[in-house]
Structure 1
């Protein structure tokens, strides 16, 4: 009695470089007689074509007789052939299996085939015995065989990237060996911003021109570069083209969120690499500046500006003067403020600060302007008295004046727009000295009384001074001229003594 024989095999075989091993289950039909063939099978998947490749093995049961395979049928009805060295293949039908031998034949079936069956009718030589046997393989247990893709859909593509925020550079590369399918493209953009602080803060304004490029077709890697402002900045590598750029970034406004490459969510997480965003910069994106101008009355006019090349934000200035005087002023980007005046009482030392730091060239003290009108000194003299008057113009500071004649000294403070007069009793002293210490000036006045004092000296029994040399009328005329030019003489008398006659 011939018993049916079942054979189950799952070898992993490789057909060329493109076959991925898949297993099949084979059932062998019971032989009709002692003479029989045993049929087993394995299956692989050809990823190039998406076909299943079944390898049928047919064995001869007889030790002393060859068998000729007279008829071979298959389900699905595709060719079953035997590979032959040096030739493509030969049909399994008509093939002779030597005694106790076997043959392997190959059949290609569609990738979604669930089962396959092979039926063989054999006739043995010598005794002419015949037998029909069959085998089958179950392919449904394995996934269907599909061709290996030749491209990848843009919606499923993965990428990897590099990012250097401080330098404003990035690269993006398509992962794998497959290009994007068809006309598919994926855009990426690198953008830099002005920022108010080195940490994330708003508002932010785009600096320069964002750089956008795409991956698609034969272009599988791109490089992106942007300029970085010389101040606080944010740099972002984002998923999408330039239309995705947000300008400005404001409080409560739109954000890139997971569009930044390297983000935890889609689409940014479809690219592997470091986080594609950066905040930094060690200077403020403002250009605060101050200038000073001293006024003749002792006050100082302070001009504030915020209109430099990188000024994008308002600046909060603080102006500090002597004795605790302080004032805060906000100046918008691109603007200036010329309205600040530090009073004379507080102008001894002035500082202009931003964020608690003195701005460049932001320290100043009042200095007397060169074009301020100077006090004028006039004299009156007769045989009994010698009078000196200091007149201080309006719009200036009070000045201290010291009057010295002979052994007498008087000190006065002359208000702006006012005058002070000191009269001395005429003596033998030939000159008086007027000192203005606030201005580092001294003025010497020669005692020359009007009229003829009888040749006697002043201040005693013979008041007045003797007149010798030039005629008295000429001396008087010269004195008048000096009186008129007194202010001019005073201007050039800084740190030296000017002598004139009275």
Structure 2
């Protein structure tokens, strides 16, 4: 069998021609694709205008040839101006060998992306028609949302967003509040702050509390960016608060289970107080009670003492519990409301030695007293009943007074009696040669000398007359006159006779 011969010449020739054509095409295209521009960009936000500012950089890939930008297309369609000039458009710019040019484009702040397309040509010498120059068209798209929205910088701050800083000195009652940052509050907006002080029952938080004086309130706004606040602080237990808001926010009084300032106090962890940075804006302290306990004493002729208790001073805002304590364990507790007084506490005579008035276990100022005999108390009186055989002396103590000790001395004999109020005690001495008896009231510091001179007796200054009548009335002469004088002027005589002897002829 004869097989036909196949010839490979024609296919090989076709393949060779194709390879030669492809090689030639490659040789022509390579120089054109090698010339290109590199585009990059950085993006900023202009907070004054709220625009995105794109700085485009266009690099020349050729280190031996200059490039001329022949066309520029931007999306969004806003001007792309040379950075070095600021007014010249990027088109027609020349890029030096291996160099670059920068251009700036501004686009709205809410633009999501931007694209720059640059056409460039590398013109060759000896090509007047510039038809053989290598050319390229390069494009770059950038995302403008990566850094968030670009909006104009605010010219003011809304009161609901404003931040503050503060200082606070509770014991001195001073504070300052300052708007943070450089921006004022917008429009006519105002933010009030108030400093208030209270009377308090204890140096720690406790109720009830009552506002002391006038709270100080002021606002930030209308160009005012800092305020100073000052309040008086009571000279007693107190609470001082720096609060968010005006005087209408002040709570008076602060009572148990009532409203509280809570996070309105500046420096708190919660809003709105945490919108101001600084120390805690509240203080509790003071060294003494917000009361003015006082006592006065009045002695009675019967030995008792009336203690008057008052709680009506300028800082008396709370009830006071007084304890009146006297000798022999006698004690009484009296509670006096603020602004009130109690005048009904009487210490009995048997206990009215040293008396003390105490509050919280401590004796108050001027709270110690001992009974003193009032100057207007009626004094005891002494009358005589004398004859030629006896010398009688009677001491009488008016009602309403205290028992009084009386010492009667005549010659070498002394008799002592205690005379109860409203009663009398009499002693009788045998008549002797002594001309006078001494009557002493040691507890009152009084003494009285009474002369023994009965009428009608032989001797003793009376001669041989008959004994005189008892001294019971207004009989004339000697002892009767003395007795009447004692009865009528006894009190005065004793007062005038303190530590002096007054001679009366009996």
CA contact (8 A) 2:381 2:486 kept: no
Q: Which residue of 1 aligns with 2:109?
A: 111
Quick one: distance in 1 between partners of 2:358 and 2:153?
Answer: 69
SS at match of 2:88: strand
Quick one: distance in 2 between partners of 1:55 and 1:388?
Answer: 132
Quick one: distance in 1 between partners of 2:62 and 2:407?
Answer: 147
1:23-422 counterparts in 2 under 5 A?
A: 33-63=33-63, 65-85=65-85, 88-126=86-124, 127-128=130-131, 129=133, 130-422=135-427
CA contact (8 A) 2:52 2:107 kept: yes
SS at match of 1:258: helix
CA contact (8 A) 1:456 1:464 kept: no
Quick one: distance in 1 between partners of 2:138 and 2:460?
Answer: 165
| CA deviation after TM superposition for structure 1 residue 331, in Å | 0.8
Q: In 2 relative to 1, CA 94–439 (structure 1 residues): closer, same or farther, beyond 3 Å?
A: same
Q: In 2 relative to 1, CA 71–434 (structure 1 residues): closer, same or farther, beyond 3 Å?
A: same
| CA deviation after TM superposition for structure 1 residue 38, in Å | 3.0
1:62-96 alpha-carbon deviations (Å, 9 max, x no partner):
455544333321111111111344xx321112333
| CA deviation after TM superposition for structure 1 residue 44, in Å | 2.0
Q: Which residue of 2 aligns with 1:10?
A: none
Q: Which residue of 2 aligns with 1:482?
A: 485
Quick one: distance in 2 between partners of 1:387 and 1:90?
Answer: 144
CA contact (8 A) 1:400 1:438 kept: yes
Answer with 56-65 or 403-412: which moved more: 56-65
Q: In 2 relative to 1, CA 410–474 (structure 1 residues): closer, same or farther, beyond 3 Å?
A: closer
Answer with 348-357 or 136-145: which moved more: 136-145
TM-score of the pair, normalised by structure 2 = 0.85
Residue 438 (str. 1) matches residue 443 (str. 2): yes
1:288-346 alpha-carbon deviations (Å, 9 max, x no partner):
11111110000001111111111111111100011000001011111111101100000
Structure richer in helix, relative to its length: 2
CA contact (8 A) 1:404 1:433 kept: yes
Q: In 2 relative to 1, CA 407–65 (structure 1 residues): closer, same or farther, beyond 3 Å?
A: closer
Q: In 2 relative to 1, CA 328–476 (structure 1 residues): closer, same or farther, beyond 3 Å?
A: closer
1:154-183 alpha-carbon deviations (Å, 9 max, x no partner):
222221111111111111111112222222
Q: In 2 relative to 1, CA 100–353 (structure 1 residues): closer, same or farther, beyond 3 Å?
A: closer
CA contact (8 A) 1:211 1:226 kept: yes
SS at match of 2:274: helix
Quick one: distance in 2 between partners of 1:166 and 1:348?
Answer: 43
| CA deviation after TM superposition for structure 1 residue 211, in Å | 0.7
1:356-404 alpha-carbon deviations (Å, 9 max, x no partner):
1111111110011110000110011122222111111000011112222
1:12-40 alpha-carbon deviations (Å, 9 max, x no partner):
xxxxxxxxxxxxxxxxxx99744433323
Q: Which residue of 2 aligns with 1:14?
A: none
CA contact (8 A) 2:200 2:208 kept: yes
CA contact (8 A) 1:426 1:463 kept: no
| CA deviation after TM superposition for structure 1 residue 486, in Å | 5.0
Quick one: distance in 2 between partners of 1:123 and 1:484?
Answer: 148
Q: In 2 relative to 1, CA 31–439 (structure 1 residues): closer, same or farther, beyond 3 Å?
A: farther
Quick one: distance in 2 between partners of 1:490 and 1:96?
Answer: 134
CA contact (8 A) 2:453 2:460 kept: no
Quick one: distance in 2 between partners of 1:163 and 1:341?
Answer: 50
Quick one: distance in 2 between partners of 1:378 and 1:90?
Answer: 138
Q: In 2 relative to 1, CA 296–124 (structure 1 residues): closer, same or farther, beyond 3 Å?
A: same
Quick one: distance in 1 between partners of 2:34 and 2:106?
Answer: 31
Q: In 2 relative to 1, CA 122–407 (structure 1 residues): closer, same or farther, beyond 3 Å?
A: closer
CA contact (8 A) 1:164 1:170 kept: yes
Quick one: distance in 2 between partners of 1:367 and 1:175?
Answer: 70
CA contact (8 A) 2:454 2:478 kept: no
1:225-250 alpha-carbon deviations (Å, 9 max, x no partner):
11111111111111111111111111
Task: Give 5+ residue unaligned stretches, structure 2.
Answer: 1-21, 23-29, 125-129, 469-474
Q: Which residue of 2 aligns with 1:501?
A: 505
Quick one: distance in 2 between partners of 1:139 and 1:75?
Answer: 12
CA contact (8 A) 2:321 2:359 kept: yes
Quick one: distance in 2 between partners of 1:234 and 1:489?
Answer: 62
Answer with 69-78 or 386-395: which moved more: 69-78
TM-score of the pair, normalised by structure 1 = 0.86
Quick one: distance in 2 between partners of 1:49 and 1:31?
Answer: 45
Quick one: distance in 1 between partners of 2:476 and 2:64?
Answer: 170
